[in-house]
Structure 1
């Protein structure tokens, strides 16, 4: 099993696919309702949950991700899509190349939100649709339970900075879309319950070793056991109905200019 490196963090693409990708798949349907077209760019494709759904709808899909192992896994699973390694805000495409752009939980990871939106505006044709999702951080129980478990275990922990925090409200984000040249921007709120086996969720999130939780597996075994015990206690109330989760879905149209 290979791993990739993104922003200085080792990511296990297959564990990510079993865990985080399943969590993010809940928003794929609404996302593509807002940005389904003949030529679709799936930006920040990860292991390809949006790509798979768009292909099933008959779209011609080009997908990009910054992580080489995500790209490899997505390309292996979706041979009828064009999969390339690339990252915002520098995309290797011509102006107006796509009819629609979909980004499922990528805009919250880019270092410069305004620059990323300007680049997505550039590669989208006039009249084309864009749809982007991001997490509502204070209602992300499915992952916040890990942060709470680390803290409860008494382990020193400083979460990585979130540059997107300054832009993560609907009002701020729609203002950025307007500044980037998009028209009729709007933001919807999506809520659901993520039902998952709690033991599998622990294993997949820890093994994925993304930027927020890579530190868990790096602890001594007794510390990992202590964190897991707190996770189990904190997660147990959600065993039957699932973790409550909330995300935002922004959509807009590129103007004629």
Structure 2
């Protein structure tokens, strides 16, 4: 559901927080009050892999689905359109409120603890949620717990390989002289894992799943100069923290650099309305909770 922390681009090293609790607290603070800004900007970016995510999880009519880290509810709504029986959770109350206004059965819950019994769901999906939890292995173990034997999990996350469009805002910040604030969240290295297809598959296997596989999804995100800037200016995600923590003069320089760099991403069929085509790369992984063997 969320945007890549890597949107900071080439700003240099960031402060490593002390432990997973600090990471999780920083993430909660970072997203608080930003549901509307997210929906108007980076939310459309994160919607792209949703059909592939649901296919990988085997979501069809009658499937009992949990959408974890639902955000504004895009994946949950898409699952419902397939006839699935959907529950949704998110750590941010503002995101949950917006998802509920869209008619979803959504509630606040923070990984790695979910308010559901063992084996409650046929499928679990998490769209970019693993980028935003301090204990990804514990989070996956909890998702395995609420998945029935034989059920499928599918997750997306931002990986090590990045499209040129993913660098745009970070490059603008660097060129504009931005100084990252010290309170940016950074995952404890002991909790990290290789952000590659193999690394994601191994992470799923390590959490007790079988039949794990992962691959890259590559696409051009179609947006506008103002929409893409609006997420950062609205304080959304790590890049938003960077931009909104700067002095007004620095923000103005970042904006000028951003407009200059946008020229490289204007598609050939642009109509002069500020349209951009931003190349992005994400990982999509899926696996199965092993079925109980017959006696």
Q: Partner residue of 2:49?
A: 27
What is the root-mean-square deviation of aligned Cα atoms in Å?
A: 1.9
Query: What are the equivalent positions in structure 2 for 1:193-232 lying under 5 Å apart?
Result: 193-232=220-259
TM-score (norm 1): 0.91
Number of positions where the alignment pairs a residue of Structure 1 with one of Structure 2: 251
Instruction: Give the whole-Å Cα distance in 1 for the aligned partners of 2:235 and 2:151.
Output: 35
Alignment of 1:90-109 (within 5 A): 90-109=113-132
TM-score normalised over the length of structure 2: 0.80
- Report the counterpart of residue 118 of structure 1 in structure 2: 141
Q: In 2 relative to 1, CA 127–55 (structure 1 residues): closer, same or farther, beyond 3 Å?
A: same
Structure 1 residue 210, shift from structure 2 partner: 2.2
Displacement of 1:138? 4.0
Which residues of 2 match residues 1-257 of structure 1 at below 5 A? 6-9=27-30, 10-35=32-57, 36-37=59-60, 38-77=63-102, 79=103, 81-157=104-180, 160-163=185-188, 165-240=192-267, 242-257=277-292
Q: Look up the SS of the partner of 2:154 in the other structure.
A: strand
The offset of 1:206, in angstroms, is: 1.9
Q: Give the number of the structure whose residues are more often strand, by fraction.
A: 1
CA drift at 1:143: 4.1
* Runs of 5+ consecutive residues of structure 2 not aligned to the other structure: 1-25, 268-275
Instruction: Provide Cα deviations, 1:146-184, integer angstroms capped at 9, x if missing partner.
Output: 111111112222664245753422222222211222111
- What SS class does the counterpart of residue 288 from structure 2 fall into? strand
| Unaligned residue ranges in structure 1 (runs of 5+) | none
Change (3 A) 1:138 1:171: closer
Q: Structure 1 runs of 4+ off > 6 angstroms? A: none
Give 1:141 deviation, angstroms: 3.7
